[in-house]
Amino acid sequence: MVRSERMGFLSVEGVNLRIDHFNKPSIMHNTHVHSQYELYFCPEDISQTSVINGVEYTYKYPCAILSTPYTVHSMSCHENAEKYERYVFYFGARTIDSFDDYHLPKSFFGRNTGLLFRLSNDEANTLVEIVRMLNGKQTLAEKELIFALFMNKLVGTCPDERIEKVGTPSFYIQDVLQYISENFAGELNSEDISKRFAVSRSKLDRDFKKFTGITVHGYVEMCRLNQAKYLLEFKKEMSVGDIAVRCGFENENYFFPFFKKSTGMTPAEYRKSLKKETRPRKR
C-alpha cells in the first residue's frame, strides 16, 4: 500500500481475487481507494462507522459492505473490542464475469453505488462457515468458487429491506480518481481535468482535497510511484529509463529525484532491496 498522510492507494494489480482476514482491535482505518471492488464483511455485533464517498454511516450489527472501484472509504470500530473480526475481499471485473447472474448477481455491482447488507447473527455465522473454507491452499479457481458461494448466500439470505445503497451516484470525485488512475502516464493537470468533468478548477481542487485529503497533483504522483514500484518489482526486464517513461516522466532525470525523495532509495537500490528480501537463507 502506498500512503499519503491521510489517504492511501491500495494496489492489487495483477491479483484477480485476494482475501484478507483480520482479528485484532482496530482504530480508525485510513481513508483509502483502490482500483478493484471491495467486499468488507464483519460478523461481529459491535458499533462501527463507515465513511463512503463523504457520507458517514453508523451501525451496530453484523454487516457486509460492497464498494465499487475508486470509492473513497474508511471503516472504524467504536468499541474497545478484544475481538474485531473481519474479512476483506478484493476482486475485479474478471471474477464477476466468470460467473452467471445466478451464482454472482451482476445487478449488485452497479456504477458508483455501494451496498450495505444488514445481517442477523445466524446469517453472519453461516457466512463465516463459508469463508473459513479458505485455508490458503486453494487455487484461484477454487477461491473464486468459494467467493461465489459466499456472495450467492449473502444475496440470497439478506432480504431487500436490509440492503441499503451507500455513497452517492453523483459523487464525481470517484470518476476523477478513476480517470487519473487510468491516465497518469500522460500529462495531467487540474485545469484539463476540471474541463473534462465540467467543473471549475477551484471546485475540483477544493472537492478533491476535501474528500481525499490530498491534492490532485499529489494523487497523480501517488499513482506514478505506485506503478513504478510495481514495475521495478515484477518487470525485471524493463530498464529504469523505460519505467520512468511508462510512469509519465519525461526521462530518468525527472524520475530519479522523485523516486529518491518518495522512498529514500534510488530505483536501482529499491530493486536490489527486493532481491534481498526474496533471497533464501543459507543453511
CATH code, domain with 193 = 1.10.10.60
pTM for the full model?
0.83
Instruction: Check whether residue 176 and residue 162 sit in a common domain.
Output: no
- The stretch 90-103 carries a mean pLDDT of 84
* Residues in Cβ contact with 183 at an 8 Å cutoff, skipping those fewer than 6 apart: none
pLDDT tens digit sequence for 162-186:
999 998 777 899 999 999 999 999 9
Q: How far, in Å, are 95, 205, 242, 247 from residue 228 at the CA level?
A: 26, 25, 10, 6
Last residue of a domain, one of 166, 192, 207: 166
What average pLDDT does the structure give for the chain? Answer: 87
- Of the listed ranges 66-75, 125-134, 200-209, the least confidently predicted one is 66-75
The CATH number of whichever domain residue 127 belongs to comes to 2.60.120.10
85-91/37-42 β-pairing: antiparallel
31-34/2-3 β-pairing: unpaired
Phi-psi label, residue 59: left if phi above 0, alpha if psi -120 to 50, beta otherwise = beta
Instruction: Check whether residue 150 and residue 183 sit in a common domain.
Output: no
Instruction: Check whether residue 10 and residue 121 sit in a common domain.
Output: yes
What whole-number distance in Å separates Cα of residue 216 and Cα of residue 117?
Answer: 33
Residue 9 lies in a domain: yes
Q: What percent of the chain has a predicted confidence (pLDDT) above 90? A: 61
Q: Give 165: exposed, middle or buried? Use CB within 10 Å, 0-12, 13-18, 19+.
A: exposed
What whole-number distance in Å separates Cα of residue 235 and Cα of residue 215?
Answer: 29
Q: What pLDDT is attached to residue 278?
A: 56
What whole-number distance in Å separates Cα of residue 134 and Cα of residue 157?
Answer: 21
Residue 157 lies in a domain: yes
- Of the listed ranges 167-176, 228-237, 250-259, the least confidently predicted one is 167-176
Q: Strands (DSSP E) along the chain, which ranges?
A: 2-3, 7-10, 17-23, 31-34, 37-42, 47-52, 55-60, 63-67, 73-77, 85-91, 114-118, 163-166
Grid coordinates 477544493 are at which residue?
A: 206
The CA-based diameter of the chain, rounded to the nearest angstrom, is 63
Instruction: Check whether residue 45 and residue 125 sit in a common domain.
Output: yes
Q: What pLDDT is attached to residue 13?
A: 54
Instruction: Check whether residue 155 and residue 258 sit in a common domain.
Output: no
Q: How many domains, the chain?
A: 2
Q: Residue 248 sits in which domain range? A: 172-278
